[in-house]
Every structure is written in C-alpha cells, then in structure tokens.
Structure 1
Amino acid sequence: MREDRVVTGDVPLLASKLAVPPAPAVSVRRTGLLGLLDSGAAGPVTVVVGPAGWGKTTLLGAWARERDGGPPGWLSVDAGDRADRFWAYVRSALDVADPPAGSGMADEPVRLADALTRRPEPVTLVVDDFHLLTDPDALAGVDLLLRHAGQRLRLVVGTRREPALPLHRFRLADELTEIRAADLSFEPAEAAELLAGHGITLPAVLVDDLHDRTEGWPAGLRLAADALKGHPEPAGLVDGFTGDHPVIAGYLADEVLAGLPADLREVLRRGCVADRITGELVEALTGRPDGERLLAELERRTGLIRAVGGRPPAWRCHRMLGELLRAELRRRDPGEAADLHRRAAAWHAERARPAEAMRHALAARDGAGAVGILTGHWPELLPYVPAGPLADPVPAPSDSAVRAEPELALAYALDRLGDDPATAENWLRIADEPGRRLTGGRRDRFGVLAAAVHLASAQTGGDDGAVRSAASRLLALVEPYGDGRERAAAQAALGAARLTAGDLDGAQAVLVDGLADAEAAGPDRAVLACGSRLALIRAVRGELLAAERIARQVLALPRCQDPVRPPDCAYAHLALAVVAAERGRPDEAEGEIAAAVPGGDPQLAALVDLVRAELCHDRGDLLGSYQVLRAGRAALSGRPTARFVALWFAVVEADLRTAHGDVDTARAVLRPLIDRARAARPPNRAAPVPADGPPALPAPVAVALARTHLRAGDPRAAARLLPAWEDGRPGDRIAVRLDAGLLEALTASRLGDRRRATRVLELVLALAEPEGFRRVFVRYGPPVRDLLAAHLDSGTAYWPLVNELIAATGERLSGPAPAAAPPGPAPGEELTERELTVLRYLQSILSNVEIAAEMSLSVNTVKTHVRNIYRKLDATRRREAVRRARELRLL
C-alpha cells in the first residue's frame, strides 16, 4: 500500500510525515501541560524532552488538534533525513512557496527566514522526533532560521534528548519553554484515569503501587493496562510488574538499551547495584576514569538516568530500568554482582557513609565486613534514618552464621528497620540468645550494639517513651568506658527524645554535653544531631547569637551538603528561620523555612508550620496564617504533642484572633490553658483566683491574654495580667519577656504614666539590643512607633536602634496603616547635608560636645549648625526642632 505523497519542487514528500498523528484509542487530557504549550508557543522555542514512552508525541498531537486558530505546521523526522529533504518538508509544513528553480539547499534557511519575516503573524512549526535529525547542515540551518525569522517562527520540538540547538541563548533571554520527563510523568489520578479508560478499575492502593513502580512513566502504565485486561488477579500482577516483566523488559531493551554504545551499557550494568551513583562510584565499579561524563551522557541519551543534584553530582536510575539491569546481572554472573557490592561497600566506607557501606556488605554476603562496619561505626548510624530500598535485595544470614557471629543478626536487623520493622524485631530476638553466650569484652560490646539497635528500632517506631528509655539505657552502658563519640551518640538520642517530649531544660543540658563530646571526638553524626536541636532550643529561647553560630556550623558539615540530607539539617534551618524572623528579616526567614524539610518528623513539621504561620501574620496575611496553623494542627491530630508546642499553637492563634479584633474568640482559645493553670494551683492557696485567670499563668499565655484586654481598650486589666519579665530566669523565652515589657510600656502610656512608660521601654531596648530583636517592636505597628518616637525626645542610650525601629514600623505595619497627618509648611530654606547630619544627632541624648566629637568638628561649628537648624525649622529648642523635622519628613 503506497502512502500519499506531496511533491515540492523535485522532491517527493510523504504526506504522513506532515500530518498530526491520530489520537490513541485511550488518552488522558493533560490540561496543565496543554496550557504550558499554549504559553510556550507565544515565544520562539518550546522543547518537550523525554525518553521513549513518555508521551511526547501524544501530548504534542493533542495540543495540535485542540489549538486555537487551527493546527500548526507539523513535521515528523525520520532517521537519515538530510538537509535537502528536511528543508523541503519544512517548506511544505509552513506552506511557503517553492524556491526558485535552480536555487541550492544551502540557501534554503535564508530564503525561509526571509519569507517568514514577510508574514503578518507568527507561524508555529512542530518538529517531532527531532533527535533523529543529525545532519550538521540541517541543524545549523535551524539555528539560522530561528535567529533571522524576525520573531515570526514559533518552533515546538519533541525529542528524546537535548536538541543540538543553542538553547542557552533562549534560556538566558527567558524565551525558552521546557517540558521534561518529570513534567510528562503521570500523577496518580491521571494513572487511575488511564486505567479506567482501558476498562480497568483498581483499588486506590493498587493504583498508587503501580504508579510508584512505573514512576509515572506513561508507556509503563499503558503496558500495565494492557496486561491487566481480563487478568484474574490484578493485585498479583501489580506486585510482579517490575522491570524484568517480559513486556517491560522487551520495550526497554528495544527502545532504550539497543541504541547505546558498549561503554555506556557497561556503566549501566555495573552501576545498577547502587540506588544513587556518582562519577567516582562509577569509576570504582568500572575502573574507568570518566564516570561523571558517562553518567551525564546516559542522562542525555536515555532520560531514564536522572540527576538528583548535590556536590559532587549524583544520579539515579529509573526504577524499572534498574530492576531489569539487576535481574540480567544476577542471571549472567551472580559472583560479579557480589563483587560489585563489595566495591561499593568499600567506596562508601572510605567516605564515612556507614549505612550505605553496611547495606552493600550485606548484599555481597560479606558478613565480616558488615559486622566490622556496625561495630566500628554504630554512633554514625544514630539517629537512625530509614533508607530507601537497596537496589539489590539483602540476603538474610544463615542460622549457622548468626550462631557464630550474633552481631551479624544485629546488622541485618538494623538494615531491615526501614523496609520491614517486624522482620527487624525478629532478628533482634534471634541475636539475643547467642549474644548472651558471649564472654568478656565481646559480650559487653555486644550489649552496647544491641542497645544501639534497640534505640534505632524505637526511633523508627516513633514511640517517644521507648526512645527515652532506650537512649538512657545506651548512655548508661557507654558512659563508664565509651569514647566521646559513643557518649555523644547516646546523648544526642536522649536530647532529641527530651526535646520531642517538650522538656527543653533537660534536652538542652544533655545536648550541650553531647555536642562537647562530639566536637572533641571529631565531626560525626552526633555533632549534627546535637548541634541542630541545640540551635533550635537556643533560637526559641531568644539566644539568637548562639543559635545562629551553632546552626551555621552544623549546616557547614558535609552531611548537610549531600543531596539526600539527614532530617537533622532541617532543625538547623528552622533555627535560622526563627533567628531571621525575630531580627525582622522575613525574606531570609522564608528561605530558611523552605529548606527546613521535616521529612517524617511530625513535631518538626508542626514547628515549621508555627513559624510559617507567624511569618504570614507579620505580612498582614491573617487568613493565610490561620490556614497554615489549621493544617499544622491537623497534621498533629491524634499524635502525642509536647506541651510547649500545644501552648505555642494556642498563643499564635489567639494573637491572630486579637489582631483581627475578635478578642472573645482569642480568650476562648486560651481558656483551656487558663483552666489547666488554675487546676494546677495548690488547693490550700489562700489568695483568691481572679476571674480573668490565675496570676501563675504560663508567661506566653499571660501575655497573649493581656494583649486581648489592651485591644479591647482595658489597659488596667492588661497590666494586672502581665508576668514579671525584667529579671528573667534561665530558660525563659526572651521574645516573651520583650513582649511583656512592651505591653507594660504601652499600658503605662495609655494610663498616662509617661515616666514609667519611658523607664520600661528603655529596659526593653536594653534586653533587645544585644541579640538583635526587631520583630517584637515592628508587629505592634503605630502604637509602638509613637512610643518610640516620644522616647527619642525623652532621651535614650539606644537612639540608633530606636531610629531603625521607627523606620521599620513605618514600612511594615501589622494592620492597616492610619492616615498620615498632613505635613506642616515647608521651611523657608532647605537644610544643608551637614545640617541634616547634625539634625539626626539631635534626636539622641548626645550633647553638642559629644556630637562634635562624633562628627570630628569643633564645638563652635556644631553650635552654628544647630542655630541654623532652629532658624530654618522655626524652632527655639532641640525637642521642638526634632518634632518639626518629623512633621516635614526630614527624619
């Protein structure tokens, strides 16, 4: 059967290459991607890059058929298309008249560009399978056409790998739209829609499982749908639908592996034993010197090797491709697979990555190597973070091996915690009996290892009580003879458990000792675990300088530079977010919050939401703050919650309600905390309990409740509730003390006691200045701004800070800004630059002699400037001149 042909000049063309491909029988409408193509086609270049089977042609075809204004020009490239044929097809696709007789193909891009510039509207061209266009002349011509078509060409490219075009030029000019394999991946809901289109209905859990196995790969999902049709046991098929399933294996072999050169296939074959692989690891596994280049080439050519970031860069293999490669490796040479795992174990051990090293040693059946890693490096394995599944399954040790070396069962138990906790617990029990038969120092050492694995098990299970108990037991075992590294690991676990329980004092005491031991022993996991949590405690308590110093030291550790970072790093980022927020730097705080990824730590997630809610409040986004707060509370629902976290949630919500003017609801939010405090009072206490709440309220609750009274216009009631704040106890939160002090100054001012307001405000400034607190002042907006402005007139030792705070409260008010008073008449003469400088000093309590010393001027010169300022501002004394300057916006 002969295809229809189109004749352009002397070149016969296949009409099928110029036609939009028909839609598949079952398709899923990718609304987001279609919109992205619409917006991309408004610019010069759009590229859709993905390996075989990622639905590039299906997506482009759907967009071409639905596009407003009719389908674009379409061209499907075939292998072997050379420049002459390619340009003939382009001319036909763009409906441009044939070139004059005798013209050469070398001039064709120029003639096309000239023709396009004469068109009134841009024209769109889709070139599918662009990776098959390899003729250098054709590629150079496309570049020329894009540069000289006068913005009249919109090129949309579908390709399996990065097109050989100068995309960097368009990327830098923000004229490039890119859709990659990650964008083409199906979401779980789209996978369910695709299956339903094939008449297949699966439980949501099976759809999610299939989606995870395929990583959203459209071809894999379509092949699964075909296999599931009429299958009697869909759950069994999904469970066995791996990369070595015949339909998947055949597709990958033909479409991905067949076109690779031998050196790249060798890298894949050997590198598949690792879940994440770097250039150096490739070199250790293959003996080649150019591992990073080869991995980058594999990513470019297949799209199924993806960069995961980090320094040095790392890559991972698509799950199904990795499964196929490992199955082939096991079938061809099981001994080679074990050798590769041993090489990987040695490589990870040399780089202080004991968890990865132990897993590879176990996979290689190198029991002695695995036990050596566990015995020598167990402190670096705590706190235990369950790893993802190893590329190869880890074979269980034999009974005889465990009897001879019960430590091997402990290693296997630790390895199984992430994937199969029940099996891990069973191996712990299996190790117990032969472990008890050990003697001497080896028995003591086994006891420490078993305690460490029990602690890891408790950490994985999330039982805070069990974690505290296991950590205390481990600390008791290592304290008599363990080195600093081992003590620090136990202290880190105990401190983390106490922090989770809300015991900030106990956590801080243990973490301080743990950090000292860890730093003395050398950088290891305990430095990160102790330091990150200690930084957060310091930040929450307002020790901002210490918190920032510790957090930055922690984040400089190599583990926090790794693309797959331990959750401990998130505590350090959260500490820096608190520091930045308290210092009035919300943008910096938002950046740190974005980096504080909580992983599976629910309490850390709650703390992140609390800080995020407060940042929304600072921006004036009260609704957004409440939504974040509600989501954080929902995530903690049904989980044990530290008392200070629950209290913090209530106080933040009460402050939100107060800022919104809903003081009754704010008090209702605080009521459970007030009732709890009342119930905790000794029953024989003679003093009556005030109706507004007991005087022994927790300080944050008392301050929040006082704020509701001040907002309701009752400063006397607010003053009665305020806690003592001037002489803080160790552990008191400085931010809460500052809040209480500011409220005391505001209530005194409202009650007409200006002298007391001035004295209190000076004490607040003295407390805030050393650590750099700014936010607590700025959040109050105009009331505190007015108080600070009056304080300048009264004289202060902190006039630069007060000046800065006045400017900050003017820029960022917590509520709607009041209408500004109209400025007074302008002065008759403008102040000179030097006079303006002197005027700024007049806000302070410095004398003329001190101002002269600050400015390196004579006293007489300063006096002359002051007289000129008084004359120009129509003032007779310093305070009047400063007031007048503020009215004129000179200060």
Structure 2
Amino acid sequence: MKTRPHLNITYLSERLQEALCDIFQYSVTTVTAPMGYGKTTAVSAFLKQAENDGVSVRRQSIYGDSSASFWKGFCRLFSGTAVYKELAALPFPTDENSRAFFLELLEQAFEKNDRPFCCFIDDLHLLTDPSVFALLFALGRLALPEFHLILASRNPIFSPSEKLRLGKNLLEIDAVTLSLQPGELKNYCSLCGLKLDAASLSSLHQLTEGWFSCVYLNLTAYLAEGHFIEDSASIYDMIFHILLDPLPSDYRKLLTFLGLADEFTGSQAVYLWKNDSAREMLKNLTENNAFISRLPEPDTFRCHHMLKSCTRKMFDELPTEEQNRCKARMGTWYQSQGRYEEAIHWLSLSDNYEALLNAVEENRGYALNIQHQEEVLRWLDECPKATLARHSYALLIFMRRLYTFRRIPEMLRLKDFFLQSVSENPELSETERGNLLGECEVILSFLSYNDIQGMSLHHRKALTLMTEKTTSVGGSGSWTFGSPSVLAMYYRTPGSLDRVVADMKECMPCYYRLTGGHGSGAEDLTEAESLFLQGNFAAVPLPLKRAELAALDKKQWGMLLCKDFLEMRLALFAGDRERIQELMDEQKKTLKRELQSMFLNTLDVCSAFLYAILGCKNEIPEWIASGRLDSALVLHPAMPILFMAYGEVLLAKGDYSRLIAMEADLRRRFSIYPNLLCTLYLEIQLSGAFYQLGDNEKALSHLQAAFTIGEEDRIAIPFAENAAWIRPLFSQLLSPASQPFIEEILRLADLLDEARSDELRRPACLTDNEWKAVKLAASRLSNREIALEMGFSEGTVKQYLNRIYGKLHLEGDARNKRRRLEELFK
C-alpha cells in the first residue's frame, strides 16, 4: 500500500545541522533571515533534541515593540532558577549601572552551573528599543559558563563593531545556511514521500531559490493540482489559495479567530469558539498545516507570521459587531489569566469600555505606561460619559497616569469630570465617596510638588475624607525619586531654610499617616542637611540618627542613601577618605541585596560629587564624567541634583567653557520647581569657571548672586566646597556685613583644603590602609605605635611597609627606606 506524501516533516540539511551543533561552543548565536526561511522551526527542532540530551531550554517569542513586555518575558526564562525572584523584582535595566547589576546576578547564578542552559529569543526584529539590544550585547560579552543565547530576527541584531567586540563569543547563521540547495531539496522531497524528476526539482529550486515556505506551498499545490505555482503569485496569495480556501468554513473561521493571538492554547481556542469541538479542529489543523506549530509549552500553539497576516485580513472582512465581540472575548481571556497588558489591549480595540475600565481597575493601572499615553487620551474621548462616570476609581488611575505623562491640562479636565461624577453617583456610600475624594486630593498634591505646605494642604484634606490608607502613593515607591538630598528637592526661596525644616516637621507626620510611613525620616534629614550646610557639624549626628532609625523601620532605602551621603560629606571635611569608601561599599551591598537598582545611579551621583570636590577626576563614574546624564534611570524630579553634581565634575575637569555654555539649560532645569540650592551651586560654579578663565568681573557678579541666595540662611558649605576656584574673590566682596559669613566660609574651606591636599598627595597605587600606614610612618611613629593605631600586629605593619616600599620603588636598607618615606610624605 502506497503511503500518501506528507509535507509536515521537519527537515534540517546537513549544513544547517552542523551549524546548529556549534551553538554550544558560543555564548551567543544569531539566526538572521527574511520571513519564511524556517528560523524558528530549525532552532526549535535542534533544541528539542538538545533538551532530550539534558540541556535546559527556555524560549521567548517577541510579539510587539514593548520593552516592558520583553523584560517580563525575559525574566520568565529564568523561572525555577535561583536568580528568578531577584530578576523579576528588578525594573528593566536601561542604563549601565542596572545592566551591570543584572549581569552580576546572572554571573553569580551560573558561575557553577554544570548543565547547559539555553535561551532562545525569537522575532527580535519586532523590538526597536536600543536598551534591549544593549542588554543582549552585554550578556553575550559576559560569556557565562554553560549559558547560551540564541537570537532570531529578520534584521541584523548586532552592528559590525559589536560583532567585532563579541569576537569568538558569536556564531552567525544566515539565510544561505537556512535555504535548501538542489540536493537538499531532493532529500526533503524524498523524506516527505514525494518523488520528483530532475527537471521538476530544477524548476522548483528556480522558482523558490530554496526559500522553505515557498517550497512547502509549491509542493502542497503540486500534490493538490499537479503543478507548481507561477512565480508571479505573491506568497500571501499562495497561502490563501493553497491553505485557507480549501478549508471547511468553520475551520477557516476558527483559524481567523486564533490568528489574532500571538500564541494560543487549546483552552483559549475553546473559550473563543465557545465549543469543545475547537480542540479536535485545532488538532486537525496542526497536523495538516506546517504554518501552525505546537510549542514546547503544554497545550500551546503558534501561527506563523505569514499565515497570521492572511487570517487577519479575513478577520477584517467580518462584520464590525462580530469583530468587537471576538476582541472583547480575547481581552477577557487574558484578564482571567492575569495578563493585563494583553487584556487592556484587546478590550480597548473592542469598544467594550465597561470591560476595559473593569480591567484597568482590577490591575490598578500598573499595566499602563508611557506607551499608552495617546491611547488613554483616546479612551477618555471615545468612552461614553455615563460609562466613565460609573468607574470613579479608573478615573483616578487615569488622572495619576496623566500626571506621569505630564499632560496636566488633560489631568485637570478629567479631575473636574471626576468630581462631578462622584457627587452625582447615587450608588456610592458616604465612606466610598470620601475615600475616592481623598485619593483625588493625594493625586492633586503632585501638582504642588516641592511646595511642602501646598502638598500638605491636600494631604490633610485627604486625611479628613478617608477611612483607609491611600493607594496612589507609598509602598515600595521612591519618595526621593533618586535624589541624594532631601533639602535640595524642597529648598525654594532665599531666607526660607528654617521654614523648610519647620514645614517638614509639621507636614510629614500627616503624610506618614496617609501612606503608612512612605518617606519616613524626611523631616530629620532636612534638619540634618540644613545644619550641615551652615557648617554646624556638631549638631548634625542627632537628627541624622533619628532619620536613620525611622527610614530603617519603614525600609525607605532612598532615605538611607541620603543619610549616608550626608555622612560622606561630613567625612570629606574630616579628611576621612576611608569612611567615605566604607559608606559607599556598604550602600552598594545594601542596594543590591534589596534590589534597588535605580539607587545605584544615585550612589554614582554621590561619588561624582565627592570625587569632583576632592579633585580625583579618575574616580568619577564614567557615565557622569562623559556627560551621558540622560542615559541613567534618574527620575525627573531628581534630575536637577544630578546636573548640579555635573557642574562640580566640569570644574574638576577644568572644562570651564562647557559649564558656562550650559548656563541657560541648567537655569531652566533648576527653575522648574524650583530647586534653589541647585541654583546656588550653579552661581558658585559659574563664578569659579569665569575666574579660572580670567574674567574677574563676571566671576564676581556670579559670586555676588550666590551670596544673595546663601548669606541670609548662612549656607556656607557650597562656597567652602568650591573655594579652590574662587578664594581670591572673597576679598573683593566689599560689604562689611558679609565679613563674618566670609570668615566662616574660609574656616570651612581650610578644613576641606587639608583633606583635599592629603588626598592629592596619595599615590594611586596605595590602598586605604597602606596610605594610613604611610601617613603614620611619615609622622615618625614606630612600628609598634602604628600597629596600635591601626589595630594590627607589628608583623602585619612590617608586611604593609615592605609592600609600600615595593610599590613606591624605594630601595636600600630598612632605615634608608623609612627615611625616604618620611621625606616624601611628611
């Protein structure tokens, strides 16, 4: 009995198999070819066998240009591994610090992995965010043991320079390797049970040029009609003619529904079809159509892009009412699975606004991001007003998102509609109405950001209305937005320093009650910072300790970083470089342990500021030193403080002209809220830049402007930190009333000069402990006295000194080397 030819055979040529077998010799493999060359089929078949051989295989398909969706799916690749929970808790790593932290987590997880782990990411051409490709490139360069990345795309994935840098870590498989040569075409036909003569094979290869999808469709036509398709036919016409038209109408309609989804399950097919017969129909479709494939995940299927394009054209021909019902049903399916991004997408397309608003409320708006900005505005415009009015909580979510999108006029218009709808809704109890109105007050407080009393008016009103904590702010969100200073965020006008401290003490307890302690420690930090800026170092530790205890109690990591930055600044004036480094190291460990990757950038801002003042240009984080300030995840309200630190970096680098050229941009940034402390630093920095360029008049003008801001509140520290650039100008400030303030500035500047000069004398090759030993030895302390001072044994001190002599190339006997050390560093 003859076997009927069957084309649904997975065939990999020997050339392709050899290329695929090399995958486990490389960190990253790219498979790039146009649509229909069998990229997914080839890699999936290879990985199926690899999985049988003990390789751990994970797969991710890309279905749209959403970096947030990519990151969620990418994290799911590591489910079941030791690193999964940490990755899932991280935001998408868009900057160097967060990428480095991500790589560190993976490196720790896979450094002792003794079983190959392979991640296959398909259809990368649908993504355009450069951060995604930067992440994949960095992962490829890391070359983790037993970790292999396979990336499939229609377009090139890495640039020529990136390929060069990946070097021996990269394997490339292209369309030439994937396409069928004449002999391979013959082997495929033979494997399918189809015998073609030499002329037919030659004609088929000429028609298709080895393009697998075209080969498959031509052979399907040959079996059905006895001839190949004319080469003038488009691939989509071929799919319609060969695969879709011959299907029974119910099969064709089911496929039309399923083609909407990127991937679908058997259960989803039953839900959409509203009949269990969908499972049997799906089984038949899969067995007889190579463009529908079963995925490794249980009960999961996928339509090839070309087939999906055709079925979506068929879907567009359905009556509008039927299309909307199907889209709504698709949305409610995803909602039932907790996949709110997909649910909101399909419900918004269905015009079923009741269901859409229910999904937004159920998800609390977490699935909405900047990419939904125009969609949200469209929903608000097109949704029937009666439907909107019934969904008060959704209106609050949209108000909050519009603020995030910085669409303030639209937010205010929506607020008016919200207030009217809440007042006119008879179904709300007084408690429900009060909680909704209270949430509205919390959201409106964002509009008064950096005006403490203005924000607090809304918070106090919310407290009188609400019987529960707010859901609009708090939780794990950052109160500081990534700023290393609380005072820099809220100091707005000259002469208001004491008022800012008093306002914080008065207003923050109300906010804590409303949010469950979000931002705990802010009022004490504000007090500690104000005392420090006035040079009252002795009074700083008490409020600083109160802030630390409050922040620890509520796990406010941003506040603890602000606390440490203030400690570092105190250590700077004490000349205690070792304490600064100790605090930085402890902070970095804490932030990584608590998965607070955004604050790693804040820690870099602290580092840049301190090392710029010390004059240690080589230790300033590279992304700040090179001016790539917008490349890091620092939220908008904290950006002024980042640019303030950058001004110090430009002074340290001697890039005075650049600082002066940026004046207009910096003033604009510092005046938005406003951030007066940043403006004070800018005036001082500009004064230093002009003075160093020899323009005494402009230097003095900017210094006088700085005095106008700082003198009334006796904010001396910014002047002292920058005295190295402007010291001679102080004698030109003629006001006798300013002399006590100038004397205080110079006293603090002398303290800092001593710390700075000590640091600049330190050879880069010496560690903190070695430098401490050098200074003690240069002070003519004996080895025993040095040991007592440092808490070491005399033997350890001797080892330290011998290592130091070697690093500094000091030769001779022990006495001569010790004398040379004293001469160098006394």
TM-score scaled by length of structure 1: 0.41
Answer 1 or 2: which has greater helix percent.
2
TM-score, normalised via structure 2 length: 0.44
